[in-house]
Amino acid sequence: EAGVTQFPSHSVIEKGQTVTLRCDPISGHDNLYWYRRVMGKEIKFLLHFVKESKQDESGMPNNRFLAERTGGTYSTLKVQPAELEDSGVYFCASSQVAGVGGELFFGEGSRLTVL
């Protein structure tokens, strides 16, 4: 069974440009999460989808970030316009069950470098 896949694995863009990250969760997982790790710091929650609905987007930094999950399958996270502080590794995770007991399966991450 395929795990969580993310694309691209690494993106280098200039400040002001746009980047779109994609995540394909494990098939059948209704719960999809986006996290971000800025270098050396903690992994921070961004948002949580249940199917195509945003269950919790309390971690989204600002309105330059837009996440979508049309059809409840794959998800995209767009950063527009990118700023230097957006650099980091963006992880996607999925789970069958949300909350306690629902194991998160992480993708390899998309490393974003904003110059």
Partner 1 sequence: GQQLNQSPQSMFIQEGEDVSMNCTSSSIFNTWLWYKQDPGEGPVLLIALYKAGELTSNGRLTAQFGITRKDSFLNISASIPSDVGIYFCAGQAGARQLTFGSGTQLTVLP
- Catalog residues that contact partner 1 under the rule CB under 8 A: 4, 33, 35, 40-45, 48, 56, 58-59, 91, 93, 99-100, 103-104, 106-109
CA distance 96 to 29: 5
In the complex, least distance from residue 81 CB atom to partner 1, rounded to whole angstroms? 26
User: Given the complex with partner 1, which of 13 and 43 has the nearer CB atom?
Assistant: 43
Per-residue CA distances from 81 to 8, 13, 63, 78 (Å): 18, 10, 10, 9
User: Given the complex with partner 1, which of 77 and 107 has the nearer CB atom?
Assistant: 107
The alpha carbon torsion through 90, 96, 99, 103 (nearest 10 deg) reads -70
User: Given the complex with partner 1, which of 27 and 103 has the nearer CB atom?
Assistant: 103
